[in-house]
Structures are given as C-alpha cells and as structure tokens.
Amino acid sequence: MQKIKAAVCHAFGEPLKIEQINLRAPQAEEIEVTLDAVAICHSDISYADGAWGGSLPAVYGHEAAGRVTAVGPGVAGIREGDSVVVTLIRACGSCTNCATGKPTICETPYDGDKGPITTADGGKLHQAMACGAFAEKVVVSHRQVVVIPDDIPKDSAALVACGVITGVGAVVNAAGLKAGQDVVVIGAGGVGLNAIQGARIAGARRIVAVDMTEEKLEIAREFGATDGVLATHKAPWKAAQRAMGRGADAVFVTVGAIPAYDQAPRYLHWGGKLVMVGMPHAGSEAKYAPDVMSYMGQGMAGSKMGDVVIQRDIPWMMDLYGQGRLKLDELISGRWSLDQINEAIADTKTGSAKRNVIMFDR
C-alpha cells in the first residue's frame, strides 16, 4: 500500500481537500498509471455538487493520461512504461452489451466503494466513475486504457478520454452522420466543440452552433462551425433553419440544460435525429411533442460517451490529431497544479473555459 496525494470530496458543494490517501497495488487485470494530466469535466463538478448523488468521501476525475508504472496478473498488450489514456469506461467485455460492441453501456456494475483507494487511516474512499483521477496515480482495469504514442503531449491526450470521444463519437457513432448533411450543436463548451469537430470531419454541409454568448460562438467557428446562433434569440431554431435553408438532419444537445432539451426538436428536419449528450440533474424532465416527431419521422437517442469502442476510436482520433485534423491543444484553456484544483473548478464553472487541465509535476 502506497501513499499518494489526491483531491477528496467530503461533502457535496464544498471545496475539495488535498490530502494523502492509500493506493493498493494492481490486482488481476488491473494496471497502475502514474498520471501526468487530468482534465476537469463538468460531470466531475456536477458529481461534487451532488447533482447525481453518490458515495462520500470520494475522489473524482476521469479524463486522464500518464504512464503505466505497474501491471497486475492477466494483463496482455500493456507494459510498464507505456503512455496511456485513462477513461471511465470500465467494460467487462462479456455482457450482452459489451459482446455486441456497446462497452459504454456495460451491464456489469462496479462498486467504487470497494476499489483500490482508501483514506489515510484505512477508511472507505469511493473511486468515482471507476477512475478517481484527481490524484497522482490510479489503479484501473486494463480495459479502461488505450496505449498512445509517447510523443503526444499528455495534457492534450487526456482530453480524448471523455470530452473528445463523447463529442466526436456522438456524431460519427450515435448519429451516423453522412457527408453533406446539416447539423445543429446546442452548447459550444468542451463536448460541443468536439461535436462540431466531429461534424466537420464527417463532412457536414452546414454546422450551426447555438450558445449563450457571441464569444462562445466565435470559438465554435474556430473549431468548424459554419454559423452561430444565440440561444437568447426569441426563436433560435428559426435563425438556425435560415442558416441551413431547412431543418437539421441531426441535432446534438451537449449541455445539461432543460430549456435546450425542450427546444431541440424544433431544429429538426423531416426524418432528423435528436442526440441527447448533456446530462441534466437527476429528476429533471423535458417536454416534446410526440405527434410531431412521429408525423415527421424524427427520432431521439441517448449517447453515452459517444458510443465509442475505445480500442478502435481513440487510436483513430490520435491519428487525426497527428494529421492536424483534430484540434486538441486548442481545447486547453488553462493548466493548474493539483493544489489549485478548487480554483480551476471555479474557473470552469464560469462557462468561459473550454477545458482546464491539472498537471502533475514529476
């Protein structure tokens, strides 16, 4: 059992506390990763604020990259020294969903209360989202990681673990977007910008970003949006339809805001598809007109983590980055130390940051 430093949540809505915790050695089919970087995702913030409940105390953080420093029994294809991206997708590999290529909705539960971390005095400490990456090291299932080239900066690589695969994957996997189709992306934050990138890569004709500020819309254009519409517009769907000349073939809601979900179907064309990505707080409800959607042949689908298969999709995205076709470096708004994590979270909550990244100095 080794001691590492981590940011621990002891009470929902209160600042995280930097303290020493215990980390056990990897067991069967597990690996230990010494982290170089972990990004702050809005899901981490929502969990720490109590939006979805959960066990406490807990260590959050799930968008990470580092180097393998120990390997447990039964691990093949991953060696000490490998550079890896660490995701929250802890797939068993054998349930019905995993066996049919849907590891993001693995049916096998994971109990984070019985994970590899404990408090300094040996008490229960929840490994949130099967990662607990707001820490110097993690022990995770080998199925949660993907080996990447050594020359890819870890701060940029960390973003692929969640925000990038969620946004790009929603477009190419969940929507199956075809070249020449029209897209609306509601929310130009970290995930939204990656949905915009995914639409550009897939060959969309028009990509309309919808957000609350002109600043965010301008950033969206830098990532591939052809048009921008303010969500504060009296009828933003009409402005979007004017930009496209019709309704959208696919609409992606990348924010957890109920008004965005209420309005989203209005952007759709005949036969269009609404893809639900952003997660509102537990118990929230949206409204839609099923008669209209039925008559117009429209559909709705949830997309968890971009419906990705990480061993397939992350290497592809790393190649796109190397070719200059996928922006990662430009997604980083700021770099912070672990001791500054509460400041980084506060900055993220302002809505102006794309992604803040915690860096671990070695």
Convert the pLDDT of each residue in 113-138 to its tens digit: 999 999 999 999 999 999 999 999 99
Q: Please list the residues that pair with 274 across neighbouring strands.
A: 251, 300
Residue pointed to by tokens 């590891």: 103
Domain that holds residue 6: 2-162+307-359
Q: CB under 8 Å to 218, separation ≥6 — which residues?
A: 228
Pairing of strands 183-186, 207-211: parallel
Q: Please list the residues that pair with 4 across neighbouring strands.
A: 21
Q: CB under 8 Å to 154, separation ≥6 — which residues?
A: 36, 37, 65, 66, 83
Output the domain CATH number for residue 270.
3.40.50.720
Assess if residue 168 is contained within a domain.
Answer: no
58 and 155 assigned to the same domain: yes
pLDDT digits (tens, 9 = 90+) for 232-286: 999 999 999 999 999 999 999 999 999 999 999 999 999 999 999 999 988 999 9
Output the domain CATH number for residue 317.
3.90.180.10
Band of pLDDT at residue 151, cut at 50, 70 and 90: very high
54 and 84 assigned to the same domain: yes
Q: In the numeric block, which tokens belong to residue 357?
A: 């990244």
pLDDT at 362 over 80: no
Average pLDDT of 101-122? 96
Distance between CA atoms of residues 124 and 26, nearest Å: 18
Q: In the numeric block, which tokens belong to residue 340?
A: 């500054």
Q: CB under 8 Å to 131, separation ≥6 — which residues?
A: 61, 62, 64, 86, 87, 88, 138, 140, 144
The model scores a pTM over 0.85: yes
Assess if residue 71 is contained within a domain.
Answer: yes
Residue 271: left if φ>0, alpha if ψ -120 to 50, beta else—which one? Answer: left
Quote the number of domains for the chain: 2
